Structure 1
Amino acid sequence: MIKILRYTEYLYLAVAVISIYKIVTLWSVNPKDTYIFIFFAVVSIAMFIFRRRYRKRFEQRKKDNQQ
């Protein structure tokens, strides 16, 4: 279960990196098309942080219950 949570964290981070790449490449061509990628980048980074905190809390609770 913990491994799956860790993989989803990095999936969100990958989406953020791809979105930032698209923002940089499309900004000079047409800035209006980049707004959706800005949204994806912000949401992906927020979800990465949220998932990481959730996983660490879950691990700590599991560790406390085993002791």
Structure 2
Amino acid sequence: MNKFWKYVQYGYVVVAVVLLIDAILNWNTNRGQSYFSIGFAIFMLLVFLFKRNFRRKLEQRNKQR
């Protein structure tokens, strides 16, 4: 199950990239939606970093046992 979560975390990066592309495409037509997409993309990147860091800590703790 741990290997599954190792690859699922990269889904957050994919979603962030899609949101950034959406923000770029909608920049001239709907700037409010673009700001929302950029903010949510930043949030998704932060979630990715948090989950990656947390997973690595758990792996290190499990190796010590």
1:15/1:40 contact within 8 Å kept: no
- Taking structure 2 as the reference length, the TM-score comes to 0.88
Task: Kindly state the Cα deviation for residue 42 of structure 1 after the two structures are TM-superposed.
Answer: 1.0
User: What root-mean-square deviation, in Å, do the aligned CA atoms of Structure 1 and Structure 2 show?
Assistant: 1.1
TM-score normalised by L of structure 1: 0.85
Distance 2:49 2:20 in 1: 17
How many angstroms does 1:3 deviate by?
A: 1.2
Aligned-pair identity in percent equals: 34
Aligned residues: 65
Unaligned ranges ≥5, structure 2: none
State how far apart, in whole Å, the 1-side matches of 2:37 and 2:8 are. 19
